[in-house]
Amino acid sequence: MAVSDSNGMKDIVALCKRRGIIYPSSEIYGGFANTWDYGPYGVLLKNNVKAAWWETMVKHRSDIVGLDSAILMNPKVWEASGHVTAFTDPMVDCKQCKRRFKADDIVDDPSTSRTSGTGRRCPECKGELTDAQQFNLMFQTNVGPVASENVTYLRPETAQGIFVNFKNVLDSTRVKLPFGIAQIGKAFRNEITPGNFTFRTLEFEQCELEYFVEPEKAEESFKYWVKEREKWYHTFGINSAKLRIKAHDKSDLAHYALSVSDVEYEFPFGWSELEGIANRGDYDLTQHAKFSGQTIDYTDDEGKKLVPYVIEPSGGIDRATLAFLVDAYVKEQVSRSAGQQVSEGNEERILLRLHPKLAPIKAAILPLVKKEPVVEIAKKLYEELRKEFFVEYDESGTVGKRYRRQDEIGTPYCFTIDFESVDDEAVTVRDRDSMEQERIPISSVADFLRKKLQ
């Protein structure tokens, strides 16, 4: 990442607010802890991240189908999955400053253990901590008017909606092993220590695939998906030096997981998980069969019945979006180039080098003068392009300022129209990253964009 400030995330958070990408939620009321709203450009960016995932995982594959299951589910689902009893974090409070922490995040401090007899002190004020209490991360709610009745939960992951629909998908489509069911949707976790901008929030979107395979092929499939998922982040622009795979030690795995690896990204606050890939064996289908009393299995072509194993790549759309933003952020000095028909000046610029497919706005149409027939040509081009692409028209201020604005929201191409366009029926296209400018016929602009967005 090319962030030049020492605070890491500060510049990105400021850019996101300034340019309508991400705002603090409920800001006029002082905000609401670790919830964020995606602004006009942020929603386009996030939708593009979802579309990129969906295209790769569903549209371009004949072995994966999609699903959109409900957020509220029968509470038995969460008993079967183990979330009611085991989806907990140990929590500690500081008796002095009253801050709350995940007990796992507290490291022993040898300087305090010598004086107080315990090495576990508040990381903020070194105060004494309470004993750890288990805290369930699920948001509980009630269906119907009586507060104590009909308890259920906001789903903490989308995966269970897939498992409980395994039989439905099998019975209503022509899927055959190996096959996957993919889903993007909201999930909710009452995180004790949310933070790092949109990295850890209470409400977030997940993108999950449950890929069902014959048990003996599970490890091979697991390895395949680890590579595929790392490749996806790289394909959509993330610098491969900032990506790594971290395999979990077998001794650290949950009892049902046979193998787990995370795709990690080097954020300014350190290497952190973008996505986890797990070989979950037949745990989930077996649990739901047990709790529902239904038979959940698969019959192969020879009539043999089996419970498939499942490989689960489980990612977060908000985390992926944040990684794409952080990785695309560049602050650089603009140097005057002889090749520029329109001078860019000699100043600092901030840009988001987003992959064109992820960029919220694909092109800006900028008339160089506010005079006819230049404006008319520019508006005609804009009207034509916006039938197919998210584009912007901007005629106010100097062209240099207009370029800077587009750079900051990651618009890959700007088309300028001038008096020459009247005679040569051409426009100048300016590339966001290289700032190189090229003259192309107006009639080829839509095709130019189509090719770049392939």
Q: Give the shortest CB-314-to-ligand ATP separation in angstroms.
A: 4
51-76 as b/e: b if 16+ CB within 10 A: ebbbebbbeeeeebbebebeeebebe
Query: Does the N-terminal peptide bond of residue 373 adopt cis geometry, omega within 30 degrees of 0?
Result: yes
| Window of 15-23, 200-208, 357-365, 382-390 that interacts with ligand ATP by CB under 6 A | 200-208
Residue 350 annotated as lining a ligand binding site = no
Q: Is the C-alpha dihedral spanning 186, 263, 324, 211 positive or negative? A: negative
160 is in an annotated binding site: no
**Per-residue mark of binding to ligand ATP, 131-170 (x: CB under 6 A):** --------------------------x-------------
Exactly one of 11, 191, 266, 297 binds ligand ATP (CB under 6 A); that residue is 191
312 marked as binding residue: yes
Instruction: Report whether 16 contacts 330 (CB < 8 A).
Output: no
Helix (H, G, I), strand (E, B) or coil at 163: helix
Strand 36-38 relative to strand 88-93, pairing? unpaired
Q: Cβ closer to ligand ATP: 45 or 364?
A: 45
Q: Is there a binding annotation on residue 39?
A: no
Q: 315, 206 in Cβ contact below 8 A?
A: yes
Helix, strand or coil, per DSSP, at residue 222 = helix
Q: Which residues pair with 306 in a beta bridge?
A: 298
Distance of closest approach, residue 156 Cβ to ligand ATP, in angstroms: 8
Site string for ligand ATP, 303-332 (x = CB under 6 A): -----------xxx-xx-------------
Q: Is 201 in the site for ligand ATP (CB under 6 A)?
A: yes
State which of residues 42, 185, 237, 276 lies at the interface with ligand ATP (CB under 6 A): 276
User: How many Cβ atoms sit within 10 Å of the Cβ of residue 313?
Assistant: 24
For the chain, the distance separating the N- and C-terminal CA atoms, rounded to the nearest angstrom, is 25
Residue 402 binding ligand ATP, by CB under 6 A:
no
83 binds ligand ATP (CB under 6 A): no
403 CB burial (10 A radius; 0-12, 13-18, 19+): buried
Q: What 3-state DSSP class applies to 298?
A: strand
How many residues make contact with ligand ATP (CB under 6 A)? 16
* Tokens encoding 196: 């790092």
317 labelled as ligand-binding? Answer: yes
Q: Are 278 and 257 in contact (CB under 8 A)?
A: yes
For residues 203 to 242, the per-residue mask of contacts with ligand ATP, x marking binding by CB under 6 A and - elsewhere, is -x-x------------------------------------
Near ligand ATP by CB under 6 A: residue from 93, 230, 275, 407:
275
Known binding positions = 102, 157, 189-191, 199-208, 273-274, 312-319
Known binding positions for ATP = 189-191, 199-204, 273-274, 316-319
Contacts to ligand ATP by CB under 6 A: 157, 189, 191, 200-201, 204, 206, 273-276, 314-316, 318-319
